[in-house]
Structure 1
Amino acid sequence: MTNYDEYEKAMRPEDITRFFVERSNAGDAAGVAALYEEDAVLAYPPGGRTVGREAIRELWAKVLANRPRFEPEEPLPTLVSGGIALTSTPPRDGAGARAQVVRRQPDGSWLRLLDQPEFVNPAG
């Protein structure tokens, strides 16, 4: 079983996106999964969903086996209400958006609860 507590924690919602890019580019599927709550839901693969941190780790292990390269994207302003925040980034092609709901943890860090990595406008 992976010890997700060994990874640096996101102390601001915006840190998660930076950690995601760093860990993905390092091929670290467990490090990516450490950014998610235990029962998180990821809207991936397209048209499907992956539920739970372990399933997300397994999915990212497959994705990262192909050594994709992720570039940092400038985040849109984060919306925060109490212990919940909405983070998002516009894709480089300008079509659609990526959005994540993150939740503050008891230790003050933040983890992804819901992740919509790509939302394409059907009219676009």
Structure 2
Amino acid sequence: MTEREKASRPEDLTRLFVERANAKDAEGLALLYEEDAVMAYPPGSRTVGRAAIRELWARLLPRMPRFEPEAPLPTLVSGDLALTSTPPRDGAGARAQVVRRQPDGTWLRVLDQPEFTRPAD
């Protein structure tokens, strides 16, 4: 197995996510998350833990279209925690992640909300 690039900055996680999703690399995607991370996906549910996140992406990636990079909004950092976010290209909603600095100085996702949508009026 080759060594995968790690996120040296919180913002790297979004780029690495897009690269690995486009490579259909479910294992590589899962490695962007802490062992007990929580992802609010599929919509209306939660996927808990790196193993479950890997299984989810292994099922979904073969049917998903190519991901396009999205410019990140400014990252908010407090010590070893950071909030990253991107506005989707289609202008609908937002994406946000809480990430944590690891003992080796790299960053991993702890909480991932890949789709926010406006509530119905």
TM-score normalised per structure 1? 0.93
2:41 equivalent among 38, 41, 44: 44
SS in 1 for 2:115: strand
Measure how far apart 1:123 and its partner are: 4.0
Pick aligned residue for 1:64 from 56, 61, 64: 61
Distance 1:43 1:123 in 2: 19
1:1-124 to structure 2, matched below 5 A, reads 6-123=3-120
**C-alpha offsets along residues 19-57 of structure 1, whole Å, 9 cap, x if unaligned?**
000000001000000100000000001100000001000
Post-superposition Cα deviations, 1:76-110, rounded to whole Å, max 9, x if no partner, equal: 00000000000000011212100000000000000
SS at match of 2:63: coil
The residue identity in structure 1 corresponding to 2:97 is Q
Partner Cα distance (1:43, 1:85) in 2: 18
Aligned identity (percent) is 78
In the aligned structure 2, how far is the partner of 1:75 from the partner of 1:88? Answer: 6
For structure 2, the 5+ residue unaligned runs are none
What TM-score do you get using the length of structure 2 for normalisation? 0.95
What amino acid does structure 1 have at the position aligned with 2:82?
A: A
How big is the alpha-carbon RMSD for the aligned residues of Structure 1 and Structure 2?
A: 1.5
Q: Which runs of 5+ in 1 are unaligned?
A: none
- 1:6 shift after superposition: 3.5
